[in-house]
């Protein structure tokens, strides 16, 4: 399985506290997760500051699963690269959408909704599994705590998920559908709420396991060689 990581890279430049938590950047933390998977090869780590964001046609053509973290730069992400991601998802590429990447262009265009929500920083989260048989929940505890996270709250403007695997409980009185799957074309998509830039979420063993599980689940059994078209008989 070939995995590509996109880490926006903007917060690392603007917020010194990000590099305190993630000295090798958020992309570096995600890279460690992929490197622990014996069945995965990391192709590249792109960012907003790389040519074509590192997500060239050649890279995406070889990518089985794209892990994507982004935040404040969602609006400046190039439309053409977002459309390219969208197209590759329809053709089968798995898409792991982490935290505020819920607002990225490619996810929004795949969902067809605004992908908006309520949010608040610096709260304690409990991730609660409500779908124990899903492959993404394999080996995951019934519930685990993230001492410091950002709450996302309902109403989240997302389409009805194929499966809701995790609920997020937050000590500020919020709750949300925290881990959700969607299918678009041949592509499997996992949206996961935790992962604020100044909290060590991507070091948490359960979070790491969930991301690994999600990559394996989203790894396409089949890909379409080109875009779908209507077919006259």
Residues that bind a second copy (CB under 8 A): 86, 90, 92, 103, 109-114, 116-120, 126, 128-133, 135, 137-139, 142-143, 151, 153-157, 159-160, 162-164, 167-169, 171-177, 182-188, 220-222, 227-233
Burial call 38-72: b when 16+ CB within 10 Å, e when fewer? eebebbbbbbbeeeebbbbeebbeebbbbbbbbbe
> Among candidates 73, 174, 160, which has minimal Cα distance to 118?
174
DSSP 101: G
We find the least distance from the C-beta atom of residue 72 to a second copy, in angstroms, to be: 12
Looking at beta carbons only, is 13 or 216 nearer to a second copy?
Answer: 216
We find the least distance from the C-beta atom of residue 185 to a second copy, in angstroms, to be: 5
> Among candidates 64, 63, 3, 75, which has minimal Cα distance to 32?
3
DSSP 204: -
Across the strands, what pairs with 44? 4
We find the least distance from the C-beta atom of residue 176 to a second copy, in angstroms, to be: 8
Contact yes or no for 47/7 (Cβ under 8 A):
yes
Looking at beta carbons only, is 31 or 84 nearer to a second copy?
Answer: 84
We find the least distance from the C-beta atom of residue 167 to a second copy, in angstroms, to be: 5
Please give the span between the terminal C-alpha atoms of the chain, in angstroms, as a whole number.
35
Looking at beta carbons only, is 44 or 183 nearer to a second copy?
Answer: 183
Looking at beta carbons only, is 107 or 202 nearer to a second copy?
Answer: 107
**Residue partners of 7: CB distance under 8 A and separation at least 6:** 25, 26, 27, 30, 45, 46, 47, 69, 70
We find the least distance from the C-beta atom of residue 7 to a second copy, in angstroms, to be: 21
Looking at beta carbons only, is 51 or 226 nearer to a second copy?
Answer: 226
We find the least distance from the C-beta atom of residue 28 to a second copy, in angstroms, to be: 27
Looking at beta carbons only, is 42 or 144 nearer to a second copy?
Answer: 144
């Amino acid at each position: 399985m070939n995995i590509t990581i996109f880490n926006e890279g903007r917060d690392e430049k603007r917020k010194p506290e990000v590099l305190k938590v993630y000295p090798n950047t958020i992309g570096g933390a995600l890279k460690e997760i992929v490197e622990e998977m014996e069945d995965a090869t990391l192709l590249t780590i792109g960012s907003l500051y790389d040519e074509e964001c590192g997500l060239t046609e050649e890279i995406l053509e070889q990518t089985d699963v794209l892990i994507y973290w982004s935040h404040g730069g969602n609006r400046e992400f190039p439309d053409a690269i977002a459309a390219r991601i969208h197209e590759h998802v329809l053709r089968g590429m798995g898409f792991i959408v982490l935290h505020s990447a819920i607002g990225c262009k490619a996810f929004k265009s795949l969902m067809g909704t605004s992908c908006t929500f309520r949010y608040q920083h610096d709260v304690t989260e409990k991730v609660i599994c409500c779908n124990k048989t899903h492959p993404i929940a394999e080996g995951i505890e019934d519930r685990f705590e993230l001492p410091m996270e950002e709450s996302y709250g309902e109403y989240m403007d997302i389409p009805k998920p194929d499966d809701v695997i995790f609920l997020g409980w937050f000590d500020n009185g919020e709750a949300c559908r925290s881990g959700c799957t969607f299918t678009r074309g041949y592509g499997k998509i996992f949206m996961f709420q935790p992962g604020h830039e100044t909290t060590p979420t991507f070091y948490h063993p359960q979070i790491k396991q969930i991301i690994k599980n999600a990559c394996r689940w989203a790894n396409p059994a089949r890909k379409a060689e080109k875009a779908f078209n209507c077919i006259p008989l």
